[in-house]
Chains A and B, each alone.
Chain A
């Protein structure tokens, strides 16, 4: 990591730089300018403004020695005391990268102080991860990501991993950019592919322009190389041979968190309103998706109601979202969410390529469409050629009968 340096022999303590600094990072102590690295943002305004040319940057492009940085960290999140499945997908991908780069994979867990070491050991040995850092603090809740920003940043600066991967969830995408700024390194958002190049650098591949362009991005001059990764694009794979001696390092953060004073926010109420109790789309096991075939907002709501009854998570195609029958957060496909549920039921979905790409890894796909040539049938396990509402009514009837 680069930083601003003051040449003590050249500085005359004129304090010109103190006035120039936008971030109150410079003070003059014993007639020499001192840079507070926690406040300094490397904006370099002081370098230009110094009357004595005493200030320079230890520039990472020339001098930084990145050989000290080792290992791949995967930040794994909890969802209701359970480790997120999507975390294991990312670990499986990290294992493949590690094989090429010769690094070791470390899983970093945040939260759930009650998790038992034994259980964690078993889980991670199946995924070939021999090193686990479990960071806990009694104050951790899902609602104050700042706490996680503090702790992970400190850990990164202390132990210097080469690559840090985050899940592209609400939590991951909130903490990652803040951590990147804190440790002063690059970050790529929402990657859909990761590779290691011949210089052992991480290639971060992500869609832009609504998914029409794939950009390959590198972080060549700073470490760690960080990326958030879209959930459900990689398939979770256990290792053929479990590793032995999984080391769980429990890091209990005690006392008041250093940065919490900044987070002067308080959760006063958790609204359990619209859709809030549902499993998020990217973690859902059963998904019912409504396509343009539902015909109207009422039609969509009918499918939605049925989904709630069956304990499924409701989703929609882009066409349905464009019609305004539901909001974007429910959109499946290339510009929406990619999913890998156990069961995916498509109601009146034609199966445009952009949609099919987002669901192709689903374990079982049931498609209902009255057009026998609909492309969704090409990737479905069960193809029901019929009117979707007729099927819906009959399913509902059957469902009630079974519960009685």
Chain B
């Protein structure tokens, strides 16, 4: 593996998102845009390989023009070049249409191996890495924790599989989706990004037909958006409920309170024994 392309996504900081209690919509003002945390970790893993084995690292993102800021960030971290796929005709893409566009970009740029985050904090589908691997017809390692080594063109990768962690040996090219791990990121190495290293692309550059990307090219359609009522301060009350039940239901945020509760205030051997017995 001589070079790798890391897919990044700019996401709203979900911690900042509040719900407007009046009209039940998302308040998007003053919400900071950040790089998706898993993607940041994927970039870190790529840069680690660059430092250790001297591979070339590129980054890409698909999004509005302002998503360029995360590419600048990646260049400041040490990426060699970046690709910005920004086109209004890509708006409304579902995961299928997104993967088609990203896979076309990967083909165009000539990169063979791809790193990405396992899922984004805003939509959280976890589809993109797997779909790209299938479109490019190369192996996928999902839920990856870490790359251990790169020797003789083979990678040793520690990934989560069901209940166990598995150490796998894989040949390139491939797609690796990374889970966010609790690791410190290396500090920025450049103060200002060299913006000449950012290549801007539209769907025309990728020879994609506008009728078949974005909203029009998507298989799935969002037919309704609801604010989860648990975040609005409102709950829906069944009209058949009696008044006292209603009060309890509302004060519990819509969860039915248990009727028969055993309250233990004094800890003696008997009470502890009762509880320990439950463990068996």
Interface residues of A in 155-191 (CB under 8 A from B): 169-171, 173-174, 176-178, 180-182, 184-190
Question: Using an 8 Å CB-CB cutoff, how does the interface string of A190-231 with B read, 1 for contact, 0 for none?
Answer: 100000000000011001111111111111111000000000
User: Which listed segment binds B: A118-126, A241-249, A393-401?
Assistant: A393-401
Interface size on B, residues (CB 8 A): 94
Q: Among the listed A44, A212, A213, A271, which residue makes an inter-chain contact with B212, where contact means beta carbons less than 8 Å apart? A: A44
10 tightest CB-CB pairs across the interface, nearest first? A186-B219, A189-B125, A177-B130, A216-B224, A186-B220, A210-B14, A181-B134, A44-B209, A177-B127, A353-B253
Contact A395 B160 (CB under 8 A): no
Question: Using an 8 Å CB-CB cutoff, how does the interface string of B181-215 with A read, 1 for contact, 0 for none?
Answer: 11000000000000000000000001111011000
Contact A47 B209 (CB under 8 A): yes
Contact A379 B221 (CB under 8 A): no
Contact B208 A398 (CB under 8 A): no
Residue of B nearest to A216 (CB): B224
**Complex Cα–Cα for A359 and B184 (A):** 32
**Chain A residues whose CB sits within 8 angstroms of the CB of B12 once the complex forms:** 209
**Complex Cα–Cα for A269 and B161 (A):** 12
**Complex Cα–Cα for A328 and B37 (A):** 12
**Chain B residues whose CB sits within 8 angstroms of the CB of A176 once the complex forms:** 127, 130
B243 CB-CB contact with A under 8 Å: no
Contact A209 B17 (CB under 8 A): yes
Provide 12 A-B residue pairs closer than 8 Å at the C-beta atoms, listed in order of the A residue: A23-B107, A44-B209, A143-B166, A173-B126, A173-B142, A177-B130, A186-B218, A217-B222, A267-B166, A273-B165, A382-B264, A383-B261
Question: Using an 8 Å CB-CB cutoff, how does the interface string of A341-378 with B read, 1 for contact, 0 for none?
Answer: 00100000000011011001000111000000001011
Beyond A210-B14, A213-B26, whether A280 also contacts B163 by CB under 8 A is yes
Q: Among the listed A145, A180, A384, which residue makes an inter-chain contact with B275, where contact means beta carbons less than 8 Å apart? A: A384
Residue of A nearest to B138 (CB): A262
B100 CB-CB contact with A under 8 Å: yes
**Chain A residues whose CB sits within 8 angstroms of the CB of B253 once the complex forms:** 353, 356
B170 CB-CB contact with A under 8 Å: yes
Question: Using an 8 Å CB-CB cutoff, how does the interface string of A69-81 with B read, 1 for contact, 0 for none?
Answer: 0000000000100
Beyond A209-B17, A382-B275, whether A328 also contacts B96 by CB under 8 A is no
Residue of B nearest to A386 (CB): B267
Residue of B nearest to A57 (CB): B212
Contact A264 B219 (CB under 8 A): no
The secondary-structure label for the interface of chain B is mixed
B94 CB-CB contact with A under 8 Å: yes
Contact A213 B263 (CB under 8 A): no
A105 CB-CB contact with B under 8 Å: no
Distance (whole angstroms) from the CB of A41 to the closest CB of chain B: 5
Contact A398 B276 (CB under 8 A): yes
Besides A170-B160, A187-B127, 6 more A-B contacts (Cβ < 8 Å) are A22-B104, A186-B220, A208-B124, A216-B223, A280-B163, A364-B278
B103 CB-CB contact with A under 8 Å: yes
A115 CB-CB contact with B under 8 Å: no
Contact A142 B162 (CB under 8 A): yes
Interface size on A, residues (CB 8 A): 108
Residues on A lying within 8 angstroms of B by beta carbon are 20, 22-23, 39, 41-45, 47-49, 57, 79, 142-143, 145-146, 149, 169-171, 173-174, 176-178, 180-182, 184-190, 203-204, 207-222, 262-274, 276-280, 286, 310, 312, 324, 327-329, 334, 343, 353-354, 356-357, 360, 364-366, 375, 377-386, 390-391, 394-395, 398-399, 402
Residue of B nearest to A324 (CB): B182
**Complex Cα–Cα for A377 and B275 (A):** 15
**Complex Cα–Cα for A118 and B257 (A):** 42
Q: Among the listed B164, B226, B275, which residue makes an inter-chain contact with A395, where contact means beta carbons less than 8 Å apart? A: B275
Contact A177 B255 (CB under 8 A): no
**Chain B residues whose CB sits within 8 angstroms of the CB of A276 once the complex forms:** 163-165
B273 CB-CB contact with A under 8 Å: yes
Contact B258 A380 (CB under 8 A): yes
Residue of B nearest to A222 (CB): B219
Distance (whole angstroms) from the CB of A340 to the closest CB of chain B: 15
Distance (whole angstroms) from the CB of B263 to the closest CB of chain A: 5
**Chain A residues whose CB sits within 8 angstroms of the CB of B209 once the complex forms:** 43-45, 47-48
Distance (whole angstroms) from the CB of B236 to the closest CB of chain A: 13
Question: Using an 8 Å CB-CB cutoff, how does the interface string of B150-171 with A read, 1 for contact, 0 for none?
Answer: 0000001010111111111111
Contact B257 A379 (CB under 8 A): yes
**Chain A residues whose CB sits within 8 angstroms of the CB of B182 once the complex forms:** 324, 327
Question: Using an 8 Å CB-CB cutoff, how does the interface string of B234-271 with A read, 1 for contact, 0 for none?
Answer: 00000000000000000011110110111111010101
Contact A178 B139 (CB under 8 A): no
Contact A360 B255 (CB under 8 A): yes
Contact B275 A48 (CB under 8 A): no
Contact A399 B261 (CB under 8 A): no
